[in-house]
């Protein structure tokens, strides 16, 4: 709570303080809205009431301004004096320090500035700000994730129609899922995108191609496979993290083709794509946990073809279902076309994931 505190005045000198309080009381008695003797709860409640019913307390404010001397925030003590406590409830008018205009709302309508409170500048104020920032991000991220998972498409629709304050921005949400995914990946020791050199050379559809490119690269760098492998494996993990956003782009370009007639603005496609890949990253998180579980049960992790195939199929079907549910509200898709488009787009999304893994091999090979 930091409304109107810029009116707070520091009274380092106790005598000055009492003098000022007497003058305030005097001024209050002279003004149209007389306040009770003393500075107890009754008076606070009264002042609060005046604010709540939005009755302009201009006269009171001006009286206080005249009597309270220079407007210096209470930096020395960092405590609220009684004067400040009253000032806090007096948000009727304050001067925006940036625009130098008188403002009657909690935030400056022109620039968004809010009145600075003496408390904001103290350690306690800082701690409160940090806690608020962390918990509000948490609350918004949790709300966004809930909407994303429980009502596919609603988050995209909300964002593109301007309902933004309750949610985390699509790109931010994607990054949060990204951090979560890579943290879980290193915790479980499983790999989804950043396949090792060994996997590229022996377990992928492009293994033959990979082998021939690798031998060219080894000749060029004058290294043996044993020397090169650790370099590749550490670089591919880094690249997978920094280039993951690349996956969302081709899908965003595909959407306007799939929904030519719907004439959605391009931003809708980008947001839809970001939300879909956020959902996929969360699915991959679940897959990592299941893979770890199956490894613990002795069935093998993602390296085992059976586990890999089952999880891949499950992810593909969940992805198709998500797209089917989401393109309804976002693009107004209906009937058989909706089903066909959902299947085609899910296959495209899967192809993009595979393409991304393949692209990572080449990018890492020629950049490390
Ligand atoms: Zn302003």
Query: Would you say residue 137 lies in a domain?
Result: no
Question: Domain of 339?
Answer: 142-367
Query: Would you say residue 129 lies in a domain?
Result: no
The reply to whether 197 and 300 lie within a common domain is: yes
Instruction: Quote the ligand 1 centre to 3 CA distance (angstroms).
Output: 15
Query: Would you say residue 316 lies in a domain?
Result: yes
The reply to whether 85 and 154 lie within a common domain is: no
Instruction: Quote the ligand 1 centre to 8 CA distance (angstroms).
Output: 19
Instruction: Quote the ligand 1 centre to 302 CA distance (angstroms).
Output: 56
Instruction: Quote the ligand 1 centre to 24 CA distance (angstroms).
Output: 28
Instruction: Quote the ligand 1 centre to 168 CA distance (angstroms).
Output: 26
The reply to whether 146 and 231 lie within a common domain is: yes
Query: Would you say residue 326 lies in a domain?
Result: yes
The reply to whether 72 and 172 lie within a common domain is: no
Number of domains in the chain: 2
Instruction: Quote the ligand 1 centre to 113 CA distance (angstroms).
Output: 5
The reply to whether 107 and 159 lie within a common domain is: no
Ligand 1 is an ion; its neighbours by CB within 5 Å are 96, 98-99, 108, 110-111, 113
The reply to whether 107 and 228 lie within a common domain is: no
The reply to whether 176 and 250 lie within a common domain is: yes
Question: What long-range pairs does 107-116 form, CB within 8 A, spacing at least 24?
Answer: 114/2, 114/3, 115/2, 115/3, 115/4, 115/5, 115/6, 115/91, 116/2, 116/5, 116/6, 116/73
Question: With pLDDT > 70 as the criterion, what percentage of the chain qualifies?
Answer: 75
pLDDT at 366 > cutoff 70: yes
Query: Would you say residue 293 lies in a domain?
Result: yes
Query: Would you say residue 135 lies in a domain?
Result: no
The reply to whether 151 and 25 lie within a common domain is: no
pLDDT at 135 > cutoff 50: yes
The reply to whether 101 and 171 lie within a common domain is: no
The reply to whether 77 and 147 lie within a common domain is: no
Query: Would you say residue 128 lies in a domain?
Result: no
Highest mean pLDDT (candidates 51-65, 196-210, 349-363): 349-363
Instruction: Quote the ligand 1 centre to 102 CA distance (angstroms).
Output: 9
Instruction: Quote the ligand 1 centre to 114 CA distance (angstroms).
Output: 8
Instruction: Quote the ligand 1 centre to 222 CA distance (angstroms).
Output: 63
Work out the pLDDT band at 11, boundaries 50, 70, 90.
very low
Instruction: Quote the ligand 1 centre to 94 CA distance (angstroms).
Output: 10
Q: What is the pLDDT of residue 275?
A: 96
Q: What is the pLDDT of residue 241?
A: 82
The reply to whether 101 and 249 lie within a common domain is: no
Work out the pLDDT band at 295, boundaries 50, 70, 90.
confident
User: Considering the chain, what is the average pLDDT of its residues?
Assistant: 77
pTM attached to this predicted model: 0.66
Query: Would you say residue 136 lies in a domain?
Result: no
The reply to whether 53 and 148 lie within a common domain is: no
Highest mean pLDDT (candidates 38-52, 90-104, 111-125, 331-345): 331-345
Task: Render pLDDT for 106-134 as a digit per residue (tens, 0 to 9).
Answer: 889 899 888 887 777 888 888 888 888 77
* Domain final residue, candidates 87, 121, 155: 121
Q: What is the pLDDT of residue 114?
A: 85
pLDDT at 184 > cutoff 50: yes
């Amino acid at each position: 709570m930091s409304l109107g505190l810029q009116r707070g005045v520091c009274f380092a000198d106790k005598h000055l303080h009492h003098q000022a309080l007497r003058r305030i009381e005097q001024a209050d008695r002279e003004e149209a809205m007389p306040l009770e003797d003393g500075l107890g709860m009754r008076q606070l409640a009264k002042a609060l009431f005046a604010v709540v019913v939005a009755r302009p307390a201009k006269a009171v404010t001006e009286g206080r301004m005249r009597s309270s001397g220079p407007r210096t925030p209470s930096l020395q003590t960092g405590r609220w004096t009684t004067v400040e406590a009253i000032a806090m409830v007096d948000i009727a008018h304050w001067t925006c320090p940036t625009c130098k205009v008188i403002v009657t709302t909690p935030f400056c309508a022109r620039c968004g500035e809010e009145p600075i409170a003496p408390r904001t500048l103290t350690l306690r104020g800082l701690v409160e700000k940090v806690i608020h920032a962390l918990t509000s991000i948490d609350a918004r991220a949790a709300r966004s994730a809930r909407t994303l998972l429980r009502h596919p498409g609603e988050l995209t629709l909300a964002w593109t129609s301007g309902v933004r304050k309750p949610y985390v921005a699509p790109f931010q949400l994607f990054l949060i899922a990204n951090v979560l995914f890579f943290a879980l990946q290193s915790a479980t020791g499983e790999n989804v995108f950043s396949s090792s050199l060994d996997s590229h050379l022996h377990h992928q559809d492009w293994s033959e191609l990979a082998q021939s490119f690798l031998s060219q690269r080894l000749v060029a760098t004058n290294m043996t496979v044993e020397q090169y492998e650790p370099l590749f494996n550490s670089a591919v993990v880094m690249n997978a993290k920094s280039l993951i956003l690349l996956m969302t782009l081709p899908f965003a370009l595909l959407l306007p083709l799939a929904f030519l007639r719907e004439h959605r603005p391009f931003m809708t496609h980008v947001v839809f794509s970001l939300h879909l890949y956020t959902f996929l990253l969360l699915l991959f998180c679940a897959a990592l946990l299941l893979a770890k579980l199956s490894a613990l049960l002795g069935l093998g992790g993602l390296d085992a073809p059976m586990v890999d195939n089952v999880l891949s199929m499950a992810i593909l079907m969940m992805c198709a279902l998500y797209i089917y549910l989401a393109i309804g509200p976002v693009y107004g898709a209906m009937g058989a076309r909706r089903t066909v488009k959902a299947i085609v787009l899910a296959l495209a999304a899967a192809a993009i994931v595979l393409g991304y893994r393949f692209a990572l091999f080449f990018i890492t090979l020629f950049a490390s």
